Structure 1
Amino acid sequence: MAPDKLFWNLDFGAWDFNFGIYFQLVFLPFFQYWLVNSHSVNGKSGLFLIFAANHSKDIMTGKDLRIVFMGTPDFAVASLKALVEGGYNIVGVITVPDKPAGRGRQLQQSAVKQYAVEQGLHVMQPEKLKNPEFLAELEALKADLQVIVAFRMLPEVVWSMPRLGTFNLHGSLLPQYRGAAPLNWAVMNGDKETGVTTFLLSHEIDTGAILFHEKITIGEDDTVGDIHDRLMEIGAGLVVKTVDALAEGNYTAVAQDDIQVESLRPAPKIFKEDCKIDWNKPAVEVRNLIRGLSPYPAAWTELVDGKGKVLSLKIFRAEIEPAEGLTPGMVETDGKTNFKIAAADGWLTISDLQLSGKKRMAVDDFLRGIHDPGQLQVQ
């Protein structure tokens, strides 16, 4: 905000002063003397001291803060990038250690580390967050604030270190979907909306006081991959908003216990067996499972071909075709472009899939590689 201009006109004996003082109407705790050169109507001149407020050092913005950022995957990179490109002072980045991956088992850097190195940021990769050497290095950064996006659970000695505390960006509308896989579970459960929330860290996971949130609609055809990409960008903006608000003290923290909900839905870590399709369930539930796990980790089923060979199949996209009198798990195909499997109350017409050990492919490519696809059955 531009400062207001106040003209003071004083009549003090023989002296008539007219001078401009620029200031913002903010009460501040310290002052300075301003030296003012004035003149009188009779030609005499003199120097006078004016006692005026100096507030320039007291106005704190997000860009004045020393920030430590913690994160790992692509989802976190968007937030770090928003802070860096916004001119915020990132004094350190904490991410996971490099890990072997792929067929060659070569060390792979996290997405956050790759971006941080490109930007010349100071990177730390502790194996243990309570390691004394790491804690000393972290404390030496003298962070005012720590920002967490898709990282890991922090010990209190870490999250309580900055004077403004530590906040996390979570992929749900808290208090719903506390846990490791909030985006997946929201889609798998058929929710119509979701969002992101920033909250202050506390002792229990994902239970701290809420700062801000942003909502989005989940479309009928949205996969968790679609939701991930949208919330990644929205979340980055929310992180910047939260940093500024904490710096300026312009926020109201709301305890999660004060938010009334009918029932809390958890978002636990997803394991392989959670991803297996149960064809005895209604078609809508099966399709929601597929959408909520696409593209990763992906819903799967097992088929048996005419020779008795078991085929493990990941399914990324399917549409519902209502039907009655079906046997769950029965397969119907023309052997060319149409491939569907029956759920309890309808067909799931599959269009995008992947055989174990193969690349993701369209259904026509899959059928072309199967000898006598009409013999396929669900295991």
Structure 2
Amino acid sequence: MMNPKTLRIVFMGTPEFAVPSLRRLVAEGYNVVGAVTVPDKPAGRGRHLRESDVKIAARELGVPVLQPEKFRDPAFLDALQALQPDLGIVIAFKMLPEVVWAMPRLGTFNLHASLLPEYRGAAPINWAIINGERETGITTFLLNHEIDKGAILAQERVAIAPEDNVGTLYERLMLLGAELVTATVDRIAAGDCTPAEQMHFDESRLHPAPKIFKEDCRINWRQPGERIVNLVRGLSPYPAAWTPIFKKGEPSDTAKIFAVHFEPGGVVQRPGTVETDKRTYLAVACADGRIVVDELQIAGKRRMSARDLLPGMRDLSDYSFGEEAAEA
């Protein structure tokens, strides 16, 4: 049995999701001897160099930072070896070569925002909501040669509430993840952490979580209302579901949709047809009812509620959402 606070930990990550775990490790006295993150990158209109969230936090916490251009760079590997790591921790980072993840004497584990083996991939929180799941979670697992397929160390289950979107669920999983990371370190140090291999699962029955592209975010108004609601929730606030807007059958604009609810049944119009009282109510027909739009952003305008938008759009009877109604 080892003292977990004496283990020499190298922390590897980039975005905000990794930061609470790094902060908690340092705050609770774990020995984080270095942080590995991506090089600074130009961002914004001025193309000023932007530091990763992990680098900003590590510098604030007094943790030395390594920013390799290439993981197999001998200079980086020498610097990493000089830290004499006992354990590596990876959260929201690039795929690492074996020469990096196998260097710590106790190996390297990753925190993933799903109940592995479900939702392996880059966007597990988004896809769990898009697919209408009522439960997800977080997992720590040992890195190996395949993405998200290493032996599982620990898991925590989290309910997905009907009102959750990717933003609210991300926040909960991020904070709970920090707790699971420290608990996993403690269990490894205590020697009571038995890795569970993922090899026995039927791959064809699992839900993947690939990177999300713009076309994945496009609303198909021919779909049932519940599926559209889940798509909006699973992409809000970022990258956001979107739809083209047509005026008298011709392309007019696009809109990002951030919050909706579903009214089933009634007289079902052609999918994409706009229904409104021109004051407070903006709805779009779908396969089995109507999607009431609560919050949206027309391209080039600010994000706003439908109530705020409607007074400035007096000719809404000329509009339709998506190509579904425009093709009629």
- Asked whether the equivalents of residues 73 and 111 of structure 1 are also in contact (C-alpha less than 8 Å), the reply is yes
- Asked whether the equivalents of residues 351 and 362 of structure 1 are also in contact (C-alpha less than 8 Å), the reply is yes
Q: Partner of 1:116 in structure 2?
A: 58
- Asked whether the equivalents of residues 41 and 50 of structure 2 are also in contact (C-alpha less than 8 Å), the reply is yes
Match runs of 1:368-379 below 5 Å: 368-378=311-321, 379=323
Q: Partner of 1:361 in structure 2?
A: 304
Q: Partner of 1:27 in structure 2?
A: none
Match for 2:239: what amino acid?
A: P
Give SS of 1:257's match.
Answer: coil
The Cα shift of 1:261 comes to 8.5
Deviates more, 1:249-258 or 1:146-155: 249-258
Match runs of 1:214-293 below 5 Å: 214-258=156-200, 263-293=205-235
TM-score (norm. length: structure 1): 0.82
Does the alignment pair 1:322 with 2:264?
Answer: yes
Give SS of 1:277's match.
Answer: coil
Change (3 A) 1:307 1:345: closer
- Asked whether the equivalents of residues 171 and 195 of structure 1 are also in contact (C-alpha less than 8 Å), the reply is yes
Q: Partner of 1:352 in structure 2?
A: 295
- Asked whether the equivalents of residues 120 and 148 of structure 2 are also in contact (C-alpha less than 8 Å), the reply is yes
Does the alignment pair 1:86 with 2:31?
Answer: no
The Cα shift of 1:326 comes to 2.3
Distance 1:236 1:129 in 2: 25
- Asked whether the equivalents of residues 36 and 65 of structure 2 are also in contact (C-alpha less than 8 Å), the reply is yes
Give SS of 2:139's match.
Answer: strand
Match for 2:123: what amino acid?
A: A
- Asked whether the equivalents of residues 60 and 247 of structure 1 are also in contact (C-alpha less than 8 Å), the reply is yes
- Asked whether the equivalents of residues 331 and 376 of structure 1 are also in contact (C-alpha less than 8 Å), the reply is yes
From the two aligned structures, give the one with the greater helix fraction.
2
Match runs of 1:31-70 below 5 Å: 59-70=1-12
Deviations 1:92-120 (A, max 9, x none): 00111111222222211111111111112
* Greater RCO structure (CA 8 Å; 6+ sep): 2
Distance 1:307 1:255 in 2: 55
**C-alpha RMSD of the superposition:** 1.6
- Asked whether the equivalents of residues 335 and 374 of structure 1 are also in contact (C-alpha less than 8 Å), the reply is no
Match for 1:202: what amino acid?
A: N
Which one of 283, 286, 298 corresponds to residue 340 of structure 1? 283
Match for 1:294: what amino acid?
A: S
Match for 1:343: what amino acid?
A: C
Does the alignment pair 1:197 with 2:139?
Answer: yes
Unaligned runs of at least 5 residues, structure 1: 1-58
Which one of 116, 124, 131 corresponds to residue 73 of structure 2? 131
Percentage of pairs with the same residue: 55
Unaligned runs of at least 5 residues, structure 2: 324-328
Match for 2:291: what amino acid?
A: L
Distance 2:217 2:133 in 1: 18
The Cα shift of 1:342 comes to 1.0
Give SS of 2:205's match.
Answer: coil
Does the alignment pair 1:303 with 2:245?
Answer: yes
Match for 2:179: what amino acid?
A: G
Larger radius of gyration between Structure 1 and Structure 2: 1
**How many equivalent residue pairs?**
321
Distance 2:160 2:203 in 1: 20
Deviates more, 1:119-128 or 1:276-285: 119-128
Change (3 A) 1:105 1:305: farther
Distance 1:321 1:72 in 2: 41
TM-score (norm. length: structure 2): 0.94
Match for 2:47: what amino acid?
A: R
Match runs of 1:128-167 below 5 Å: 128-167=70-109
The Cα shift of 1:306 comes to 5.7
Q: Partner of 1:30 in structure 2?
A: none
Runs of 4+ in 1 over 6 A off after TM superposition: none
Distance 1:236 1:356 in 2: 37
Deviates more, 1:307-316 or 1:148-157: 307-316
Give SS of 1:78's match.
Answer: helix
Give SS of 1:349's match.
Answer: strand
Distance 1:375 1:292 in 2: 30
- Asked whether the equivalents of residues 268 and 290 of structure 2 are also in contact (C-alpha less than 8 Å), the reply is no
- Asked whether the equivalents of residues 326 and 345 of structure 1 are also in contact (C-alpha less than 8 Å), the reply is no
Deviations 1:274-326 (A, max 9, x none): 00001111000111100111111110001123695621101011000112432
Deviations 1:1-32 (A, max 9, x none): xxxxxxxxxxxxxxxxxxxxxxxxxxxxxxxx
